[in-house]
Every structure is written in structure tokens, then in C-alpha cells.
Amino acid sequence: SQTQLIGTTVEALDVPVDVASPYKLLIANLDNTNYVELGFVSGTYTMRIPAGETMLMPYVSATLYLLANTSAVTIRATFCEI
């Protein structure tokens, strides 16, 4: 598991070099106020994690892009190879 600061400009999720694709991902938004948007195409966000919430993604095989709303948020990402 690792944390990553997500800003208000799009950025890719940092996947550890020892994690092979595809993988499962448990991602938590540690912010108390702002949500974070996620998507597999930069600039197109199909998912949202509200402040203080967690999401399980059972199958990730492509780059995941994230964008914080209003101000930067910290996320915790836990990876599990499939």
C-alpha cells in the first residue's frame, strides 16, 4: 500500500514497479472535503471517490488517471496482482 498526493491537474496513478498488470486496486480518498475523479482516458473521468470514501476496482489493466476537485487530496492505493 502507498499514498500519493493528487493535484488539480491530471496525473497517472503511481503503480509500484513490482506490481504486474492486471491487478486489483483498493483506493481510498483520505481527504475530508474534496472528491477525486478517476478514468482510463486522460481528461475523461467515469468514476468519483467522495471525501473519506474507498473504492475497490476488481480488474485494472491500463493506466488510471486521477484529478482532485478544488484542492489536492491524498489517496491510499493498495495493489493485488491477479
As a whole number, mean pLDDT of residues 39-53 equals 96
23 near 79, Cβ under 8 Å?
yes
pLDDT given at position 30: 98
Which residues sit opposite 66 in a β-bridge? 11, 38
Tell me how far apart the alpha carbons of residues 74 and 82 are, in angstroms, rounded to a whole number.
Answer: 25
pLDDT given at position 54: 98
Per-residue pLDDT tens over the stretch 2-31: 999 999 999 999 999 999 999 999 999 999
pTM of the model: 0.93
